[in-house]
Structure 1
Amino acid sequence: MEPDVLVIGAGPVGLTLACALLQHGVSVRVLDKAPGPATTSRANFVHARGSEVLDRLDALSGLPEQSVRAMTITTYAGDRPMTRIRFGDPGLNTAAAPMVISQARVEARLRDRLAELGVRPEWGSALVGVDRDADGVTAALGDGRTVRARWLAGCDGTGSTVRKLAGIGFPGVRVSERFLLVDAHLDTTLDRSGTSGWVHPEGMLGAMPMPGGEWRLLAYDPAFSGDKPTEEQIVERMRRILPERTGLAGIRLLDASWASLFSVHRRLADTYRQGRILLAGDAAHAHAPFGGQGMLTGIGDAENLAWKLALVIRGVAGDRLLDTYEAERRPLATQVLRGSTAATRVNIAAGPVGRFLRDRVMMPVFNLAVLQRWATYTTSQLWVGYRRGPLGGRGRRPRPGDRVPDVACERTDGTRTRLHAELRGRWAALGGDDLYEAARGRLGERVVHLRPVDPLPAMLVRPDAHLACTGDPNRWLDGALA
């Protein structure tokens, strides 16, 4: 049977998109060229916004218990603490506070959720060609098979085959900032309740506690300037520089389960859509890893795209609605790219002026509680809103496009619940019967009727927990669904 959407890439973005589409009643197939799921990953941080998305997919359970809540980052110059930053709970009724957990574990939970929804990734299925027509796309695979679908979603990373076959440009730079990554057990007395980092003339080094007693070691190291080294060479290099940069005589790298070298990309796709082909995650934007924003931004892309594509597929909305996907998500990718670039330059400052500004000016300032609260809120992405986008609006707060908090509500039978738990592929009408009937008449059965426990204006909430509109929804729906 021909699926509505063919998702290329079974990473966190592709899995999120597939799960969300299935929640909306859209048929999906997921293909990935890899022979099987990854067991290691570079990303290892899930901020509050990511937890909210996973919770709305019913894919969060188990992850908080598997994670490490190492939210304190202490930066040293040798053995002298320079700054201690606390990333806490944003305090906005989020599904989970920030989690240190590998992307591989997040993907495993998403695969489980995908299986619960009746779909499994098809491994070893490499995309080699795409033919498009007015009604859909035909994907050619490396083994000679073809797959027909109405829409194609490229969630296949920075080297995206989908993006290349669609002819979408990916301007930017691959810079000389090269980092070593090693997951290993250490002989050390470092405190596992937080992350430690060291500034050093030859480059920064960080150690983050991971589940299972391991540490994730990250080091800026332009020394490997030739061919890509082997994992053994990377481990040996890390073993040597670890005591040098930390200044801890007794620290030793015992054994490593994984090692990698990566160079930073800074790129942004020319467009997120080419007809019936759409891009999400690293296929659309690539940036430095500082701040843990990559997987978070991609997961947000997928949730935003899913409800819009579902409305188009169901014939409720015209495909012009898909243009709002890029309009809402591209400004965030641009902002994340700029922020991660600035953070990278601060962390790897090599000249005396740059090191002085970082070590003597910026680091001490980050000991201030107000800046630590700002850092927690900024990295959480709970501030992300779309009021300036084509579906946004002006007026009293909350404004169309704003994130709606996970407020306490009641179902029509009086049962207590929470807003975000009721979304999960549905819209929410918070208010009286007129609002609910108007929304249901336009959007179909995927609208839940709720009443807020505390007084709120009557509002229609999108499936991604952003405000569609307050009051009578017909005017907003006229514009959005045209």
Structure 2
Amino acid sequence: MHPGKDIDVLIVGAGPTGLALGIDLARRGVDALLVERADGLFPGSRGKGIQPRTMEVFDDLGVLDAIRAAGGGYPVGMIWQDGQRMGEHRMFDPAEATEDSPYTEPWMVPQWRTQEVLLGRLEELGGKVAFGREAVGITQDEDAVTVRFTDGGSVRARYVVAADGGRSAVRRSVGIGMTGETVDAHPILVADARITGLDRDHWHLFPPRTQGEGFLAVCPLPGTEDFQVVAQFAQGASVDVSLEGVREVVAARSHLAPQDVTEVGWASDFRPRAALADRFRDGRVFLAGDAAHVHSPAGGQGLNTSVQDAYNLGWKLGAVLRDGADAALLDTYEEERRAVAADMLGLSTNVHRGEVRRGAATRQLGLGYRESSLTAETRAAPGAVRAGDRAPDGTLGGERIFDAFRGPHWTLLAVGTAAAPQALAARTLRGASHETYGTGIFLVRPDGYVGWAGDRAAGLTEYLARFGLRRSPA
């Protein structure tokens, strides 16, 4: 522990962002604490779509098997009219799994269940969440941040990460503004309900029947007996989130009777908006997830972008706090993630407005950091995989590449060359020329992106030294 500090990292908010960051820091040996103002985990299905890139992240964090067991693939849409099935509707452009991209379709898991899985993994690694602790004030100096809570207590941490949602108290406390727009002025009801009279093989879609009436969508939630109900209302309408309110809208817009909705476990209403924090950092305080960017739920980008914020920040905090890397490394979090968040906000908005289909872009496999100050492409003639790109899966030297990536380390891929040094602070995998990678030396960051690429090893050791890594891992 650093002198005069209670903890290395305080994470405010135990949603998917905070939990993923807590897992990443725990496996790096960073002393971190999560605090959550609620008395327990979020109870609803809200962010139910896990995109392929996030599946890869979950593979590395050690929760993929549990996530796959907890969910299922997206069902085909079934369009209804006047109690009759009118035909199927594909929600996503299909994509075949390949060796370099083993996860190509989104996976549906209710958000509450995703959080349970993440919390279980955090506790397995020795981490914990302090529930019922609401942050109400923040002060910081050159050495640390002091966070005060409603119970009168306080924590002093070297760094604080705000993962406390779109109305982030931490963001407001440090005075970071948020710029945004209303994506859709129509209020939307979302609820988890038990419903009889609908099959669980389809996402049931009930288009508006009259002008001024909104749509109704009823989606079975895998691994549960629930359906997620989503209903759009006219501008200015009040939304009743009670059992009777959900029964009324389902009966009015479908062939179901009110009593077919037997139970409502969770319900909320919202107005879709898109907003981006003006900055992702203030001194020793970082914003991540919805505290930094708020999305329309269309296209399933919000939770996924948020988890990947945590994945980007986690290894950098670990490098500074445990490996002795220069604290300037933390500046690259905003550099890399704010640009991605801005792009994903635009994508979410366009999907919501029907201007873009859910397809390759929403899977997030094409995101990267080619323009980052951490990216070094030294080859005269780069191939298909360049520094800054997501490092694809495959087989090299008889070993699966993603298996080699799994863990908090850097990985060196020596593909079709013997030029890579023997003693380096990275796990090394060697093999012949590869269909996806071609030939070259690829140094892969702990978050699965190629940081450095070259034809020979000159400059490689110096590059790694920027992150406090100078010798081979034990």
TM-score (norm 1): 0.83
Contact 1:68–1:209 (CA<8 Å) still a contact in 2?
A: no
Task: Please give the residue correspondences for 1:207-286 in structure 2 after superposition, counting only pairs within 5 Å.
Answer: 207-211=218-222, 212-222=224-234, 225-226=237-238, 229-243=240-254, 252-286=260-294
Relative to structure 1, the CA distance from residue 87 to residue 122 in structure 2 (aligned partners, 3 Å threshold; closer, same or farther) is: farther
Q: Secondary structure at the match of 1:122?
A: strand
Contact 1:430–1:450 (CA<8 Å) still a contact in 2?
A: yes
Contact 1:88–1:98 (CA<8 Å) still a contact in 2?
A: no
Counterpart position of 1:359: none
The aligned amino acid for 1:215 is F
- CA displacement 1:349-394 (0-9 Å, x = unmatched): xxxxxxxxxxxxx8xxx9xxxx7xxx43222111111112222355
Counterpart position of 1:448: 427
Shift of 1:422: 3.4
Relative to structure 1, the CA distance from residue 460 to residue 478 in structure 2 (aligned partners, 3 Å threshold; closer, same or farther) is: same
Shift of 1:74: 4.5
Contact 1:231–1:260 (CA<8 Å) still a contact in 2?
A: no
Cα RMSD between the aligned structures? 2.8
Q: Secondary structure at the match of 1:383?
A: coil
Counterpart position of 1:426: 409
The aligned amino acid for 1:140 is R
Q: Secondary structure at the match of 2:7?
A: coil
Counterpart position of 2:215: 204
Shift of 1:33: 0.7
Q: Secondary structure at the match of 1:310?
A: helix
- Count of matched residue positions in the alignment of Structure 1 and Structure 2: 442
Contact 2:94–2:105 (CA<8 Å) still a contact in 1?
A: yes
Q: 2:20 aligns with which of 9, 16, 21?
A: 16
Shift of 1:131: 1.6
The aligned amino acid for 1:7 is I
Shift of 1:477: 4.1
Q: Secondary structure at the match of 1:134?
A: coil
Structure 1 position 187 matched with structure 2 position 170: no
Q: Secondary structure at the match of 2:390?
A: coil
Shift of 1:308: 1.3
In 1: Cα distance, 2:242 partner to 2:433 partner: 56
- CA displacement 1:388-413 (0-9 Å, x = unmatched): 22223555132111001122245xxx
Q: 1:400 aligns with which of 370, 387, 406?
A: 387
Contact 1:265–1:288 (CA<8 Å) still a contact in 2?
A: yes
Q: Does 119-128 or 382-391 show the bigger shift?
A: 382-391
Q: 1:106 aligns with which of 106, 111, 114?
A: 114
In 2: Cα distance, 1:253 partner to 1:378 partner: 36
Task: Please give the residue correspondences for 1:90-101 in structure 2 after superposition, counting only pairs within 5 Å.
Answer: 90-92=96-98, 93-94=101-102, 97-101=105-109
Shift of 1:88: 4.3
In 2: Cα distance, 1:256 partner to 1:270 partner: 38
Counterpart position of 1:349: none
Q: Secondary structure at the match of 2:229?
A: strand
- CA displacement 1:204-241 (0-9 Å, x = unmatched): 22221112232211111136634x63423531332333
Q: 1:289 aligns with which of 263, 282, 297?
A: 297
TM-score (norm 2): 0.85
Contact 1:402–1:466 (CA<8 Å) still a contact in 2?
A: yes
Counterpart position of 2:307: 299
Counterpart position of 1:310: 318
In 1: Cα distance, 2:233 partner to 2:18 partner: 32
5+ residue gaps, structure 1 = 347-361, 441-446
Contact 2:97–2:104 (CA<8 Å) still a contact in 1?
A: no
Q: Secondary structure at the match of 1:176?
A: coil
Contact 1:69–1:193 (CA<8 Å) still a contact in 2?
A: no
Counterpart position of 2:125: 117
Q: Does 37-46 or 144-153 show the bigger shift?
A: 37-46
Q: 1:178 aligns with which of 176, 183, 187?
A: 187
In 1: Cα distance, 2:353 partner to 2:405 partner: 42
Contact 2:159–2:285 (CA<8 Å) still a contact in 1?
A: yes
Contact 1:71–1:88 (CA<8 Å) still a contact in 2?
A: no
In 1: Cα distance, 2:19 partner to 2:103 partner: 19
- CA displacement 1:4-57 (0-9 Å, x = unmatched): 111111110000011111222211111111111223231111111111111111
Structure 1 position 81 matched with structure 2 position 108: no
Contact 2:188–2:232 (CA<8 Å) still a contact in 1?
A: yes
In 2: Cα distance, 1:23 partner to 1:331 partner: 27
Contact 1:281–1:299 (CA<8 Å) still a contact in 2?
A: yes
Counterpart position of 2:54: 50
Counterpart position of 1:158: 166
Shift of 1:154: 0.4
Identity, in percent, stands at 32
- Kindly indicate which of the two structures has a greater share of residues assigned to helix: 1
Contact 1:74–1:85 (CA<8 Å) still a contact in 2?
A: no
5+ residue gaps, structure 2 = 470-474
Contact 2:250–2:256 (CA<8 Å) still a contact in 1?
A: no
Structure 1 position 33 matched with structure 2 position 37: yes
Q: Secondary structure at the match of 1:316?
A: coil
The aligned amino acid for 2:115 is E
Task: Please give the residue correspondences for 1:286-435 in structure 2 after superposition, counting only pairs within 5 Å.
Answer: 286-314=294-322, 316-346=324-354, 375-392=358-375, 396-397=382-383, 398-410=385-397, 416-420=399-403, 422-431=405-414, 435=420
- CA displacement 1:174-216 (0-9 Å, x = unmatched): 56231111222333344x3332323324222222111223221
